[in-house]
Every structure is written in structure tokens, then in C-alpha cells.
Structure 1
Amino acid sequence: MYKLMMQSGFMNNTNTDQEELIIERAPQNWAKEIFSGAKLGDRRKTQRLVKIAGSTMQSPGASFVASCHGDLAKIEGTYRWLENDSINHEDIIQAGCRTSSRWMDETEGDILAAADTSKLRYSHSLREELGPLSHGAKGGEGMRGLLAHSTVFQSALTGETIGLGDQVYWRRLDSEQGKKHKRKQLDYEQKESFKWEYSISRVVERFVEYLKRIIFVLDRESDIYELLMYLIGNDLRYVVRASWDRRLSDLEQGIFDKVSSSPLMGKVLINIPQKGGRQHRRATLEVRSCTLTLSPPSRDKSLPPLQLNVVQAKELFSKDPISWTLLTSEPVETLEQVLYVLRCYGLRWKVEDFHKVWKTGGTNVEGLRLQSEGAILRAATLLAFVAVRLEQLKDESDPEMLSERTKMVILSDFTKTETKGKKRKTIKGLSASKRPCTSILSQLEWQILWLKLEEEKPLPRKPPSRQWAYQAIGRLAGWYDSKRTGRVGMKTFWKGYCTLQDLTKTVALVQHAGITV
């Protein structure tokens, strides 16, 4: 550290303006931007929220105690705030989600609203006050905790994370376990699956001025007739993966047979990324589409029929083939339109990435050991926005990852007679605008990173690239590109980012104290 500060000349810098820039760096500024508008009933509660969020962002992944760095007054204030039942976590969600509108204003094109549900598991002394996480008859004896349904906004053009659109929490009741038949008899609004419509309605109310640009991207669990009615009835845009082979109003066959028998539109080549034990591969997909009308379900014939578009993509030559059937409001007359629908659904994985970062890979929400449900809700809500910020940093650091994952090659397009199905065309992957690393790191941060890792090279006059910063942060945590993918794992990236924050804080404090060596 001494060598680093002497090399950079920070020890002799007495510029007051630069000191203020260093001490008031991005984490605290970010916290003010996200939470300063929170209406918690008392200005002091909001100020404390901003301080806690800023400290957490400066020490991501650390406990609330560790993020206070030994300041006893700060520790006490943090836990008083977390245990204050007069603070409603919904007010934190409202304040944080509304700030997404700023990034939406700066985002070109459509906005994807990808939603998913995740379980928060807890095993400490509070677990008995929480709910079962299984619907089985023995669910109360197994894992316990809370459920969270999150909606994450992304740019359909670049794939980058924009912000959080909504988050809903609930816990299951022990009295409902092992009663699947009774749950099926409940009204739609009383079922747990109503979470999809409930959360979407909150997004609609919160972001009404952006609805023409928002496409809701939902997985198979959301294939609910009443939800499709809500989406269509409110003229909302959507891509929903089909789960049920629903009957059609004019035919005996169902959705899957109908779209499978539709004319082949073309063949495309896509990248399937490495994940867990699955190896990276390139997959050839046959693509079809059609427009059809669904009959109401037999359980309620009074519901109206629904007209919608369907896209099907099936992989060829694979033992474990991809097979997507997507219900959508988007046009599907040309192959390019169909590929846009596939691309929108193909980006839904980012909401799963968000949950991974939030729960274990970054902010470690499942590691909380707070002693009340309310405290966990307040902490989890706050940390959700920290996790979103980490996703944004990773997106901006590694735009090529999104580009590679969404690249498509049209092998044949049978919707264009002049090509006779033989013309190859590459649909470029999503790519973020090319910016230097100063879009994610301050000048002080990237200079410290350079001097720490590039000891034999002089400090460059111009900031290095974001790709360099992304991999350098990984190297700071011991990352080595052994698989030659160029990709840093989320946990490693987070660890490196924490180390960089510690280094930056140390240099800033030494400079602020005016210490000379």
C-alpha cells in the first residue's frame, strides 16, 4: 500500500476538492440517489437508510456490523433502524424502484421486465416464526423462510440491467401444508399464483408512462389463463413461456401441435453458454410461428377466448434439446420478428442471476441472522438494490458477454422467397456502447487497480477499457482464466470489488488525514 501511494503521488496531494471527491465516492452518492426520496415518516429514518446503504455498498458481502468498521455508534444506529417496526419495507421498495425511471429515460428501445420467484432459506432461531418453503405434507418440518417475487428491468437493445421494477414478499402458512386439493378450490385472487398479476399491476401503476416500451418476460409458472386475460385486456406487451397444451377454439388439437404443424420459417444458430456441468455449445434451432385463439379452461367456461401469437424454437441434433413455445403480444410475421421474441425470452436468465447475487453470491441475504421477520424484510429490501448495482457494474464491465450470448446466425429464412432458404445472415448480439472504465470506476479506483496489478507498467494517461477493469477486478480476487473463457465468476467479481473498495478507502483516509511519508 505504501508503494502504491508513493507511486501515484497521493501522499503529497492536498487538493481539498479532490479529497471531497474521494471521501464522497460512488457508494454514498449511489445510496443518496436510490433512497433519499424514501418516505419513512421521519427524515432521520431516511438519512439513516442512506448511510446504511452507502456503508453496505462500500463493504459488499460483509455483515452490517463489519460494514460499520468498528464505529459503535454507527453499529447501534444501524440495528435500531433494522429493528424499527414503524419502518415499512414497502416504502423502501417504492423509493428504490422509482429511481429506475431515470435509467429508463436514458435507455433506448424496449425495456424487458423479467420476473421470477425465489426462496429465502433461514435456519437460525427465527426459522420457526417464518413459513415452510415446501407445499408438501411435511413442508413444515423442512426448510423454512420467506418467498420473494422480483421484477428486474433490462434494456432489450443492450441486455444491461436498468433497475428493480418491483419486489413482493410473503410467507406460507403451516396450516396450508399438504392441502393441494383445497388450494385448487380457492378463487384466483386467493391463490399464490396470483403473485404474477399482483406484481405486474404494481409495475403498471408505478411506471405507467413507460408501458408502451415495457415487455413482461415470464417463465412457464406464469402460464395462467387469467393472467393472460389481464395482460391482453390491459394492452400490455408480453412474452410468456407456455406450460400447458391449451385447447384451441376452432380445432381439437392443442397449442403445441398447432404451432408444430405451422410452416417452417427458418433455421438459426445460437450460442448455449457453459453453466454448471453443461458445456458451451452452438445449437441449431428450427423456428415456427402462428396466430391462434385459445378456448377458456374447462374449470371456468365463462371466461372469454383469447387471441395471441405463438413462437416455437426446437433444437436439432441434441440429446438434451432446447424446446421453447412462447406466447406473445409481439408481431411474428417475419423471421426477424420471431428472433426478437426469442431474444427477449433468452435474456430472462438475468433475473435468476440477480437472485443468485442477492441471496448468496454477493449480498448474502440468506446469511442474515436478524431476530425478527420485519428486520429481515428491511435488510433484504435494502440489499436487493445493492445486488442490482452489482449486476449493473458487471454488465458495464463485460458487455461482450451479453453480445456473445445473444448472437444468432440465420442459416435459412423461408419467409423470403428471393433467398430460397439458402442465405446465411448474422444477427449481431446485444452490445453495450463502448465506454472507458470510468463509467464504472472513479479515477482513483482505476488508478489504484492499475498500480496494484500492473506494477511494471507506467500509469496510462487515458483510462483503460471496461474489459480490462472487469478482468482486473477478478484478478484482484485471485481469478485466473484457466478455461480461456475470459469470464469472471460472480462471487469472484464481488470479492475483487470488495477488495478494491477497501484499498480505495485506505488511500482516501490517508490522504484526508494529511499524513506524509
Structure 2
Amino acid sequence: MFSADTEQWARDTFHHSELGDRRRSKRLVQLASSLANHLGQSLVQSLKSPADIEAAYRFTRNQAIDPQAIAEAGFAATVENTKHYECLLALEDTTSLEFSHSTVRGDMGHTTSNNYSRGMFAHSVLLFAPHEQHVVGLIEQERWTRNIKDYGKSQNHAKRPYLEKESYKCERASRAMETRLGEGMSKIISVCDREADLIEYLAYKTSNQQRFVVRSMQSRCILESEDKLYQYSASLTDAGMRTVQVRQKGGRKARRAVCEVRYAPITVKVPSNKKGEPVELYYVGCQEREQEKGLNWHILTSEPVRSKEEAERILDYYEKRWLIEEFHKAWKSGGTQVENLRMQSKENLERMVVILAFIAVRLHQLRYLGLNKEEAEKQSCEMILSPQSWKILWSKQEKRKPPKKAPSLYWAYINLGKLAGWYDSKRNGRVGWERLWEGWFILQTILEGYLLAKSLDL
């Protein structure tokens, strides 16, 4: 969970690191702590002395340090945290990291349909506790670059073996999680978007008794009807209505969608061009009827769905997918600014990319705590701020003597945003990523100045 003390957080996250030398592990903790205290800043801006800056650059350039070893330390810390929960959603998604700086572009591959784009891909799995409403941490992340010479290879996608396709990443992620979690895998429910709707993946998950919720990408053939799945779903009995909050994305405005809910057990046939046995699943549909191009979810799951309440629970799980997208925002444009990194090689870059991924999770935890206003108002702000920090923030924002009892977590969340110039113009109480990390940075800067002045008796 979120720790107010960045040094303690860095130790908790990376103390498992096996980098071949204890001094490297110590440097990793120091580097992560400094970067977490100076979100979005470069190495030069986040470190205090020329010696620290040089040591940090030596760390990122050290070919003996495997970026995956850094990641495994963070994953191990997440595994420890899973022991506190009975049910966890493994929210999965893929994003691209694009780098424009000329020094590293030569080591990168293409990331879009534009052959001139350069960067890497990352498939991340973020654990979320649905009952406790906690962002727990990263449990898996795979990073890769495409070979520029293979640009356009997707045209031959259907002819390539499953194990050679990028889409195998979903099964690979599940295998990695099972290796790390062992018996704890039984409490994990993978929640994936349409990229995971592969008959091989569905068969793997069911045959290994792994739990999942996957949004359907295609209307599959099923044993229950001569019609395909989507047509069959229209014949199912309406189980009631559900209101879904459609989130703003790109040019799409946020809105409330009123949907019909349907559910049924189904058996998915294996496509004629592939081998295997039919896969027994449960189907949950959530369709908006009042708009021609409205919300339309077809969900496949291993979880038993025999009632409206169980169908609603599956939809609740799927709706939490936005949290992995918010992690990407914290990692990229809204927090650690990972795409602004300037390194001399792909390996150097990847070491920093991994460290910043775990810092982004920390920022994500902070923001999610604040977004849950009802719970955040019950919690003390000392969950995220030291006594000195919140008292400085209080004096800066409230212009009066701090109270004896620490104010609420929600107060801290709102006032960190206000410290960076945020104004609740939309009246929704949601501080954006940029203002939140900027407010955090400003507060840390003020705190450092205060501590320096105090040490000099100014």
C-alpha cells in the first residue's frame, strides 16, 4: 500500500533486488526514492549533488544490471502484499512508449502504423483488491521492441503459430503470475480487454483452473445455438437494467449509459482451422439500447454466473479496467513522464523505465485514495504525508495554525491539487494527474527548504 515516506517505500519495493552486488541494491533504493520525491524530473533535477548524479548515471549504464532483475524485486514486494487479500483483480493492458530523443531512437522499433514512430511496448498487470478498494501493485510487466524489418508483418498474422504472435503475451503474463504467486494464484481473476479473446488463451485459463473476465472481440460459434454468440445473446431473458458510467476518452465525452443485462452458460466451439476441445464458460452481456452505437459489452468469464447479482459482480470487475489505463497515464503523460527520458541505449533506458513504472504505481495509489471521497474523508492524511508535510501544506493553504489532529486524506488530495493551481471548475472533485504530481513536487520542495533552513538555524 501507499507509504508517505519515500525512502521506506523504496526499501519496501526494491529490497528483494538481486543485482549481483549489495551496493547496487542500495543505489537502486536511493535512486528510486529521489525520483519518487521529484516526479517528472530528470536525474539531474531530482538528485542533490554531482556525486549522486554521477552514481545514478553509472547505475543506469551498468550492463551487469538486468532491467528484469529490478522488475522482479518490485513484483516480489507485490506478492508479499497479496497475502492481505482474499480476492484480487489482475488488470491487464498493453501500451506503447514512444521516444523522440535522437540518442535512443536507433535502438527502438516502430510502435504504430506509422513506420517512423520509435519506441517500445509494455504489457502490464496491475493488482486491485475489489472489496477493499486498494491498488495493490504491479505483479507482471513484459517490455519489448518490434523489429523494424518486420514492419507490416501483421498482415500475415493468421498464418503465424500462436506462440510466435504478440497476442501470446496474455498467456505468458498468466504463466509468470502463477510462477510468482504459487497457490496464491487461486485468488487472482485476470481482467482483460478484447486482445485476450483468443481461443488458445481461453482454453489455457480454463484447463489450468485460472479465473478470468475477458471482453469478447468476436461473435463466436457456440454449442447452445445455431446462431453465433452475439445473436444468441439477444434472445436471452433481460435480467434487469444497469447504469454504466462511460468515462471520457479521447474525443468521447463522459456520460451515463443505461444498459440491459443478460447472462447464460455457454460452450465455445474451437474454430475449424484450430485444434482442441470446446470451452465451457459463462456469458454476461451489457447493452445500451437507446443509442445506435451505444455501449455494448459481451463478457466471457470462468466465474459462475447463475443470478443477476453474480452477473453484476462480473460487470463490476470489468469496469475496473480503467485503473490499468490510469496507471499508464501516471507512468506516461500524467506523472513520471517516462517518455521524456533521454538515455544513450535501449538497455539504459529500460532500467529507468522499470523504476518509473513502480513509482507510477505509487502515484496511482495516492490518486485513487483521493478519488474515493467517502473513504478518503474517514482516513487521516498521515497515510500519505508526514506530520511536517501536512502541517506545511496546511499553513500554505489554510493560512492559519495547524490543528492538533491531522486533517483527512481527502483534504490532502484536494489541497495538493490546489497547491499546483488546480480549480474544481467541473465540480467533480477530481484532481488531474498533472496537477497532483506537480502539487506533490511543490510540497516536497518547500519541505526540503524548511528542513535545510532548520538545520542551519535560519
Q: Which TM bucket (shorter chain)?
A: over 0.9
Aligned with residue 354 of structure 2, among 358, 376, 381:
381
- Match status 1:466 vs 2:412: no
Offset of 1:103 from its aligned partner? 2.7
Residue identity opposite 1:40 in structure 2: L
- Match status 1:130 vs 2:105: no
Residue identity opposite 2:18 in structure 1: K
Tell me the equivalent position of 2:385: 441
CA distance in 2, matches of 1:388, 1:460: 31
Tell me the equivalent position of 1:159: 133
TM-score by length of 2: 0.95
Gaps of 5+ in 1: 1-23, 404-430
Offset of 1:101 from its aligned partner? 2.6
Aligned residues of 2:171 and 2:204 also touching (Cα < 8 A): yes
CA distance in 1, matches of 2:146, 2:438: 34
1:363-388 Cα shifts (integer Å, max 9, x gaps): 11100110100011100000000000
Tell me the equivalent position of 1:476: 419
Aligned with residue 200 of structure 2, among 226, 232, 252:
226
Equivalent positions of 1:76-475 (< 5 A) are 76-107=54-85, 109-125=86-102, 126-134=104-112, 136=113, 139=114, 141-275=115-249, 277-300=251-274, 302-318=275-291, 320-400=293-373, 434-455=378-399, 457-475=400-418
- Match status 1:53 vs 2:26: no
Residue identity opposite 1:434 in structure 2: K
Offset of 1:276 from its aligned partner? 5.2
Q: State the SS of the aligned residue for 1:308.
A: strand
1:334-381 Cα shifts (integer Å, max 9, x gaps): 111111100100000110110111012111110011010001110000
Offset of 1:174 from its aligned partner? 1.9
Aligned residues of 1:283 and 1:316 also touching (Cα < 8 A): no
1:438-481 Cα shifts (integer Å, max 9, x gaps): 111111111110001110x3311111111111100000000111
Offset of 1:506 from its aligned partner? 1.7
CA distance in 2, matches of 1:295, 1:238: 18
Offset of 1:80 from its aligned partner? 0.6
CA distance in 1, matches of 2:116, 2:303: 42
What is the root-mean-square deviation of aligned Cα atoms in Å? 1.8
Residue identity opposite 1:307 in structure 2: E
Decide whether aligned partners of structure 1 residues 166 and 38 sit closer, same or farther in structure 2, where only a CA change above 3 A counts.
Answer: same
CA distance in 2, matches of 1:92, 1:155: 24
Residue identity opposite 1:449 in structure 2: L
Aligned residues of 2:79 and 2:139 also touching (Cα < 8 A): no
Decide whether aligned partners of structure 1 residues 78 and 327 sit closer, same or farther in structure 2, where only a CA change above 3 A counts.
Answer: same
Residue identity opposite 1:186 in structure 2: R
Residue identity opposite 2:165 in structure 1: K
Tell me the equivalent position of 1:11: none
Percent identity of equivalent pairs: 37
Offset of 1:503 from its aligned partner? 1.3
1:309-354 Cα shifts (integer Å, max 9, x gaps): 0000011323541110000011211111111100100000110110
- Match status 1:491 vs 2:423: no
Aligned residues of 2:194 and 2:215 also touching (Cα < 8 A): yes
CA distance in 2, matches of 1:180, 1:274: 30
Offset of 1:179 from its aligned partner? 3.1
CA distance in 2, matches of 1:276, 1:193: 25
CA distance in 2, matches of 1:230, 1:443: 50
Residue identity opposite 2:29 in structure 1: V
Q: Which moved more, 1:378-387 or 1:494-503?
A: 494-503
Offset of 1:130 from its aligned partner? 1.1
Aligned with residue 31 of structure 1, among 2, 10, 27:
10
Offset of 1:186 from its aligned partner? 1.8
Offset of 1:90 from its aligned partner? 0.8
CA distance in 2, matches of 1:271, 1:383: 30
Aligned residues of 1:160 and 1:432 also touching (Cα < 8 A): no
Q: State the SS of the aligned residue for 1:99.
A: helix
CA distance in 2, matches of 1:492, 1:84: 34
